Chains A and B, each alone.
Chain A
Amino acid sequence: AQKVTQAQTEISVVEKEDVTLDCVYETRDTTYYLFWYKQPPSGELVFLIRRNSFDEQNEISGRYSWNFQKSTSSFNFTITASQVVDSAVYFCALSENNQGGKLIFGQGTELSVKP
């Protein structure tokens, strides 16, 4: 069965600290996609990244970086030098190739960055 686990419910950091959000997934499919979304208080989901199961290269985009490790079924997200505007709920999600695109979301991690 497919499942996404974000064990950290809430994280609080002080501005400029680095923070890593953990994501562990379960799937029996060999072809799948992993996503990270940001959800600010407005509720609208903001797409951050998509990774397919055959691409284990780590990715960096500005202050954001992602570490995908199939060996541990993890897709962790790191924010470097966090800012107050990073405060939001972050969701990790899984889409299996044979499921027509529907997403299985993790429980979400609420990040609070204090000035």
Chain B
Amino acid sequence: GAVVSQHPSWVICKSGTSVKIECRSLDFQATTMFWYRQFPKQSLMLMATSNEGSKATYEQGVEKDKFLINHASLTLSTLTVTSAHPEDSSFYICSTPGQGYNEQFFGPGTRLTVL
């Protein structure tokens, strides 16, 4: 299966700053990348779907101007949390579907803490 990496694995930032999370597909051309968010003790919720070379599709309730997604190449998708606030503290995980969409390759996740 595909190998997906995320960077950074954890980040602590001050309220009001922006944080960029990178998701790389190391051995697979990821035309689609999903971004999930997981609050403590909760499930994973899909935030948005990014497709290489086009605008991301956001799930209901997710602010597209706050969570900027860029998928400029087949191996890299980025999520930027702009003007982060403590309520944005969460575990962010990316994944890309395999061919046929019946399998998923997850990144190891990024734990964001906003002070």
Contacts and interface: CB of A to CB of B under 8 A. Distances in A.
Interface of A: 33, 35, 42-45, 47, 50, 52, 91, 95, 97, 99-108
B63 interface: no
Interface string B43-72: 111100100000000000000000000000
A71 to B, nearest CB: 22
Interface of B: 32, 34, 38, 42-46, 49, 91, 93, 95, 97-98, 101-104, 106, 108-109, 111
A91 B45 CA distance: 12
Nearest to A107: B43
Q: Helix, strand, loop or mixed for chain A's interface? A: loop
Contacts of A52: 102
Given A100-B97, A102-B46, A33 B109 contact: no
Contacts of A107: 42-43
A48 to B, nearest CB: 12
Q: Helix, strand, loop or mixed for chain B's interface? A: strand
Residue of B32, B93, B95, B102 most packed against chain A (CB within 10 A)? B102
A77 to B, nearest CB: 16
Given A43-B91, A44-B109, A108-B43, A103 B104 contact: yes
A50 B106 CA distance: 14
Contacts of B108: 42-44
A84 B43 CA distance: 23
Contacts of A104: 46
